[in-house]
Structure 1
C-alpha cells in the first residue's frame, strides 16, 4: 500500500514521533538558524517557569505526593512511581502493581504533565484532579478510596491544621485532590539547552543537534510533536506499516518529548530500551523505511537537548 508524503505525515504515530525519510544522508547544518527564520516561527515553544499562586496549598500537595497513607496498605506514594529525584517516572518497562503483577502500560513522567491536553497513554482523563483520583482508586496502583484516604489524613492533627490554614477546613475530597494537583502544576522543567536556543542563544546547540532539529521538522516529526510539550496534544495510531510495540491500545495520546533522554525505556509497553532503538523502530513501523545512521545520530542528539531543569537541577542528573 502506497502513501503520499502528505498522507504519511497525517497518520504519524502516537508513541514517539512521526518521521518521513529522505533518500540520502542529510548535510550538516552550518548555521544556527535559517536566514529569515525566527523562533516565533518554530513549531515548539519554551517551557514556562512554574507559577505558584498559593504556596501553602502547594506545600501540602508536595507532602501528600510523598505520603504513603494515600495507598490502601500504606506501601507506596505517588512518588513511588513518579520519582522526582530522577525522571518523574521510573526505570522499568512496567511498574509493579499492589498485587505484584506488572501494570499494563509504561509509567509516563509526571514532569510537564500539566502542559498536556489529556493525561495517560490513552488520554482518558482531562484534569490532574481526575488523574489523581483515578490513581488512588485503581486497585493496582494505590488500591484505596477517597473516604479511606480522608479517614487517615483527618487523624493527623498537624495535617488538619495545615489544611485549615490553607483551605479554611480540614481535609476533604475536593481539597486533597486540589492540593496534590496544585503541586503537580509546579512540576515543569524549563531551562533546557533547546529552550535556550529558542530564546536566542545561538551557541546553545551544536551543529549536529541543530541538524537533528532540522530533520525533526523536515521529516515530519513536528507534525505530531509540537507545542510546548513537543507532543501531548494529539491522539494517533501506531504500527501503520509494521508492528511497533504491543498492538493494544491501538490509538494513544502522542507523548511529549520533554526530558525524553531521561525516560527510557520507550513506547507504551517499554519495549525500546534506547532513544536510538526507538527512533529506528519509528521509521520502520510508521513509514516502512529505514533511517540512516547519520539521521538517527542527529535526531537523537537533538532529543538530548530537551532535558530541562527541576529546582535548578537537570532532570535525571541524580540517576
Structure 2
C-alpha cells in the first residue's frame, strides 16, 4: 500500500504554469514528473514463468502463500490491510508497498535497504516474516514438478536453480508498470486530459514543495527523507524512509509506513501539518486529492484498482 512520505521543506517549486498550447511536446513542459514508459520487452518465457511463480504457494516454506498473498496484482499491487500478516501469524511491522512500478524506484523497501530487484526478492523469500524459504529450497520443490521443470528448461535451458527462480520473478516484476494515467496523458500533450480541479491540484502540489521529494517518473522513489519535521506524522520509527512513489496512490489505502491514515484526504492533511506546519483549507485538500487521483494508471488495459 503506497503511502505519502516526507516533503522537503527548504524550497518551493517555481516551475511556470503549464502552457495551454495544444499538443505541446513533452520536453517543453518543463515539469518535474515524467510519464511512465511502456513495459520493457523481455524474454516472454521468463516473464510467463515469473508470473506463474508469483502466485505459486510453493514459494513459502510451508506452501501456504505466494507473493500474490500480499501483492495482489488484480487490484492495487498490495492489499487493503493496515498490516499484512506474516507466516508466523503476526502482523508485519510496516505497511505493504505496492509492487506496481516498484522497479522504477532507485531503492527497494520502506527503508531503501536493497539496491536491486533481485536483492529485494531474495529478502522476501528468506525473511522469516514473509515466506521463510530460500531460492534453493523453492528450486528443489519445482524440480519435482515435471511441468515446472519443463518450463525452466524452455526459459533457461536447465532444471530449476535458485538464481533462475529469482531472475524469473524479477523479469515479471519489471513488467508491472502502469502507464496511461490521466496525468501522463497530460504530460504527453493532451491538454484536455486533466480537469480544472486536477490541474489546480498539481499547481498546488508544486507550489507547496511536494514535488521536491515526489518527482521523476515514479513521483517519488528516488531519495530518502525524514518524516515528522514539524509535528509527528505516524509511528516514529523508522525515522528515515525512502520516499514512496505516488503512482496509483488513490488505490492503495491505508497510507504511511504504519498504515495509520485511512483515506487519501486524511493523509494529505496530516502531511501538510507534519511536514509544512500548515493546515490545508478544504479547497486545497480537495484539489490535491483530485491531482493524486489523476496518477492512477492502467495495467493490462484496465485501470489499477478498478478506479474510473
- Shorter-chain TM band: over 0.9
Alignment equivalent of 1:244, drawn from 213, 230, 233: 233
Unpaired runs of 5+ in structure 1? 1-13, 21-30
Return the offset for 1:110: 0.1
Alignment equivalent of 2:156, drawn from 162, 167, 174: 167
In structure 1, the residue corresponding to 2:241 is in which secondary structure?
strand
Alignment equivalent of 1:65, drawn from 20, 33, 54: 54
Does 2:43 align with 1:54? yes
| 2:217 equivalent in structure 1 | 228
Does 2:263 align with 1:294? no
What CA distance in whole angstroms lies between the structure 2 residues aligned with 1:318 and 1:218? 27
| 1:78 equivalent in structure 2 | 67
What CA distance in whole angstroms lies between the structure 1 residues aligned with 2:164 and 2:158? 9
Q: How many residues align?
A: 296
| 2:136 equivalent in structure 1 | 147
What CA distance in whole angstroms lies between the structure 1 residues aligned with 2:264 and 2:46? 37
Return the offset for 1:157: 1.1
What CA distance in whole angstroms lies between the structure 2 residues aligned with 1:301 and 1:49? 25
- Does structure 2 retain, via aligned residues, the 8 Å contact 1:261–1:307? yes
Return the offset for 1:318: 7.8
- Does structure 1 retain, via aligned residues, the 8 Å contact 2:108–2:117? yes
| 2:204 equivalent in structure 1 | 215
Q: Is the alpha carbon distance of 1:218 and 1:239 closer, same or farther for their aligned partners in structure 2, counting shifts above 3 Å?
A: same
| 2:94 equivalent in structure 1 | 105
Does 2:164 align with 1:181? no
In structure 2, the residue corresponding to 1:316 is in which secondary structure?
helix
Return the offset for 1:19: 7.3
| 1:202 equivalent in structure 2 | 191
Unpaired runs of 5+ in structure 2? 10-16
| 1:158 equivalent in structure 2 | 147
In structure 1, the residue corresponding to 2:115 is in which secondary structure?
coil
Return the offset for 1:287: 1.7
Return the offset for 1:17: 5.1
| 1:259 equivalent in structure 2 | 248
| 1:278 equivalent in structure 2 | 267
Return the offset for 1:16: 2.8
1:19-38 Cα distance to aligned partner (Å, 9 max, x none): 77xxxxxxxxxx96368996
1:111-164 Cα distance to aligned partner (Å, 9 max, x none): 000100000100001111111110010011001122321210110111111111
Q: Is the alpha carbon distance of 1:200 and 1:266 closer, same or farther for their aligned partners in structure 2, counting shifts above 3 Å?
A: same
Structure 2 counterparts to residues 127-142 of structure 1, below 5 A: 127-142=116-131
Q: Which moved more, 1:183-192 or 1:286-295?
A: 286-295
Q: Is the alpha carbon distance of 1:318 and 1:209 closer, same or farther for their aligned partners in structure 2, counting shifts above 3 Å?
A: closer
What CA distance in whole angstroms lies between the structure 2 residues aligned with 1:261 and 1:92? 15
In structure 1, the residue corresponding to 2:294 is in which secondary structure?
helix
Alignment equivalent of 1:33, drawn from 8, 16, 19: 19
| 2:13 equivalent in structure 1 | none
- Does structure 2 retain, via aligned residues, the 8 Å contact 1:262–1:315? yes
What CA distance in whole angstroms lies between the structure 1 residues aligned with 2:204 and 2:307? 31
